[in-house]
């Protein structure tokens, strides 16, 4: 007997979500650092990642990245360049979700590192060379390979 496809009532609905965020860097000290956020997973492990979140109505990906980075790290920055796009699928709430996340490289302008956002358990400045080993997700680690070249092409420094 041939395999049957799931009945229409058993199929998950598909939802598309778009988010933005990125790496905010501080080049004002002796070594350049990037701000990461830590979130506890279901098993209580702290997983480090780049700050990110959903675009609000009428918001560009760049504007959402600036807002989300500031909300989740306490650091206000401006966009230097685009790092890349990550997209993936997951299932939640009875839906199959296709998530697209636009990542940007930002230069820190102001603020203090803070884990005040309810969605964040910890925040940390991490030397740029240590970012790949600290990040929990392979897709974000791959984006870090672009950072040194992109920083070398911009001479902007935080005010």
pLDDT in tens, the chain (159 residues): 555 555 555 788 999 999 999 999 999 999 999 999 999 999 999 999 999 999 999 999 999 999 999 999 999 999 999 999 999 998 988 999 999 999 999 999 999 999 999 999 999 999 999 999 999 999 999 999 999 999 998 764 444
The reported pLDDT for the residue numbered 1 is 56
Whether the CB-CB separation of 119 and 39 falls below 8 Å is answered with yes
Task: Identify the CATH class of 13-150.
Answer: alpha beta
The pLDDT of residue 156 is: 47
CB 31 within 8 A of CB 127: yes
Q: What angle do CA 147, 153, 157 make, to 5 degrees?
A: 85
State in Å, rounded, how far the first CA of the chain is from the last one. Answer: 70
Helices (H) and strands (E) in the chain, counts: 4, 7
- pLDDT at residue 157, as a whole number: 45
Q: How far is Cα 68 from Cα 50, in angstroms, rounded to an integer? A: 10
Residue with tokens 């965020």: 21
**33, 130 contact by CB (below 8 A):** no
Residue found by looking up tokens 């979140």 in the block: 53
Model's pTM, two decimal places?
0.87
3-state helix, strand, coil in the chain (%, to 5): 20, 45, 35
Phi, psi of 90 (to 5 degrees): -155, 165
Structure tokens at 8: 């229409």
């Amino acid at each position: 007997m041939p395999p049957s496809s799931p009945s229409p009532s058993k199929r998950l609905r598909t939802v598309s979500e778009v988010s933005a965020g990125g790496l905010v860097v501080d080049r004002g000290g002796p070594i350049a650092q990037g701000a990461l956020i830590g979130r506890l997973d279901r098993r209580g492990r702290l997983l480090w990642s780049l700050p990110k979140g959903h675009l609000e109505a009428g918001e560009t990906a760049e504007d959402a990245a600036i807002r989300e980075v500031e909300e989740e790290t306490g650091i206000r920055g401006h966009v230097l360049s685009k790092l890349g796009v990550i997209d993936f699928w997951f299932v939640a709430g009875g839906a199959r979700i296709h998530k697209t996340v636009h990542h940007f490289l930002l230069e820190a302008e102001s603020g203090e590192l803070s884990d005040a956002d309810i969605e964040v358990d910890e925040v940390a400045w991490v030397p740029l060379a240590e970012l790949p080993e600290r990040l929990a997700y392979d897709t974000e680690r791959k984006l870090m390979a672009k950072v040194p070249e992109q920083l070398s092409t911009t001479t902007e420094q935080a005010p």
